[in-house]
Chains A and B, each alone.
Chain A
Amino acid sequence: MFQAMGAHGPTLSPLTSVLLDVVLLGCAFWLLAKPTKRPIFDSLFMLTLVLSVSLIRVVMQPIPNVQPVTVAALLVGAQLGARRGAAFAVLVAMISNIFMGDGWWTVFQAAGWASIAIAGSRLSLVTSTGFNLGRACMASIVAAFWFDLIVSFSILDGTIGFTEFIVYLGHGLPFDFLHMIGNLTFAIWMGGWFTRLLEEDPSLEEIEFAVVNGHGIDG
Chain B
Amino acid sequence: MALLFASLFLVPAILAEAPSTPWEETHSFSWEYNFETGFISTSPLFIGEQLLVRTSGHAEPSVTAFDLSGAKIWEHTNPESTNNDMSPLLHVPAGQGQCGSWPEMVLVGWTSGLVEALNPSDGELLWSTQSEVVGWGVTGELALDGAFVMIPTRQGIGQYCLADGQQQWWTETGLGWRNGVAVDETGYFMGDEAGQLWHINRTGVATSHALQLGKIRHAPLFTDAGILIHAQADSGSTIGIFNSTNATLTQQFPAGFSPAIPVLQGEYIVTGDSSNMRILHCSSVCVVLDEIPFHTNGEIGWFDNGQIFAPSNLPDSNWGFFTFDDENNLTYSSIEVGLHGYGTASPIQFSDGVTTFTAFGNDQAILRVYSNFEENTTLSTSNLDLGAQLLLFGMFVLLGFSSAFLLNGKREWFLRTSSLFALVLVVLLLPDLSSQWSKSFDEQFSEPASPEEWNEQWPDAWLGTQIIIFEIDGEEYSAGGFVGHTDVLSLTQVACEALDFELSGESTELGWYIDSINGIEGKGWEFSVDGSKGIISVDQSMVFSTSIVRWTPV
Contact = CB atoms under 8 A, between A and B. Distances in A.
A174 interface: yes
A11, A66, A188 — most chain B CB neighbours (10 Å): A188
Contact of A6 (B416, B434, B441, B513): B513
Given A181-B426, A188-B419, A189-B416, 7 more contacts: A4-B537, A6-B534, A64-B430, A66-B423, A160-B533, A174-B434, A181-B423
Contact of B437 (A133, A171, A184): A171
Contacts of B427: 63-64, 66, 178
Closest 5 CB pairs of A and B: A5-B537, A11-B523, A185-B419, A174-B434, A5-B513
A8 B524 contact: yes
B438 A171 contact: yes
Nearest to A180: B426
Interface string B442-460: 0001010000000000000
A11, A170, A171, A189 — most chain B CB neighbours (10 Å): A171
B535 A4 contact: yes
A6 B445 contact: no
Interface residues of A, number: 32
A175 interface: yes
Given A64-B510, A171-B438, A6 B537 contact: yes
A159 B533 contact: yes
A201 to B, nearest CB: 25
Contacts of B513: 5-6
B445 A5 contact: no
B287 interface: no
Contact of B536 (A5, A62, A64, A178): A5
Interface in A135-170: 155, 159-160, 163-164, 167-168, 170
Interface of B: 412, 415-416, 419-420, 422-423, 426-427, 430, 433-434, 437-438, 441, 445, 447, 508-514, 523-524, 526-527, 533-538, 541, 554
Contacts of A159: 533
Contacts of B445: 167, 170
A196 to B, nearest CB: 15
Contacts of A62: 509
A131 to B, nearest CB: 11
B535 A164 contact: yes
Interface in A1-43: 3-8, 11
A182 interface: yes
B340 to A, nearest CB: 21
B419, B433, B437, B538 — most chain A CB neighbours (10 Å): B419
Given A11-B554, A173-B437, A182-B423, A3 B535 contact: no
Contact of B447 (A4, A6, A164, A182): A164
21 contacts: A4-B537, A5-B508, A6-B513, A6-B527, A6-B536, A6-B541, A8-B524, A11-B554, A63-B427, A160-B535, A164-B447, A164-B535, A167-B441, A170-B445, A171-B535, A174-B433, A174-B434, A175-B434, A184-B419, A188-B415, A188-B416
Contact of B420 (A6, A160, A189): A189
Contact of B430 (A7, A11, A178, A185): A178
Contacts of A5: 508, 510-513, 536-538
A177 interface: yes
Contacts of A164: 447, 533, 535
Contacts of B527: 6
A6, A64, A163, A168 — most chain B CB neighbours (10 Å): A6
Contacts of A177: 426
Nearest to B539: A5
Contacts of A170: 441, 445
A181 B437 contact: no
A111 to B, nearest CB: 22
Given A6-B527, A11-B523, A174 B447 contact: no
Interface of A: 3-8, 11, 62-64, 66, 133, 155, 159-160, 163-164, 167-168, 170-171, 173-175, 177-178, 181-182, 184-185, 188-189
A30 B251 CA distance: 71
A59 B536 CA distance: 25
B540 to A, nearest CB: 9
Contacts of B437: 171, 173-174
B422 A6 contact: no
A13 B310 CA distance: 50
A174 B513 CA distance: 19
B106 to A, nearest CB: 45
A168 B535 CA distance: 6
Contacts of B509: 62, 64
Given A11-B523, A178-B426, A189 B533 contact: no
Contacts of B538: 5-6
A135 B535 CA distance: 35
B535 A181 contact: no
Contacts of A171: 434, 437-438, 441, 535-536
Given A164-B533, A164-B535, A3 B423 contact: no
Contacts of B419: 181, 184-185, 188-189
A185 B415 CA distance: 8
Contacts of B412: 133, 188
Contacts of A168: 535
B34 to A, nearest CB: 31
A133 B411 CA distance: 12
A64 B199 CA distance: 55
Contacts of A178: 426-427, 430
A41 B90 CA distance: 84
Given A171-B441, A174-B437, A188-B416, A4 B536 contact: yes
Nearest to A2: B510
Contacts of A4: 510, 535-537
A181 B427 CA distance: 10
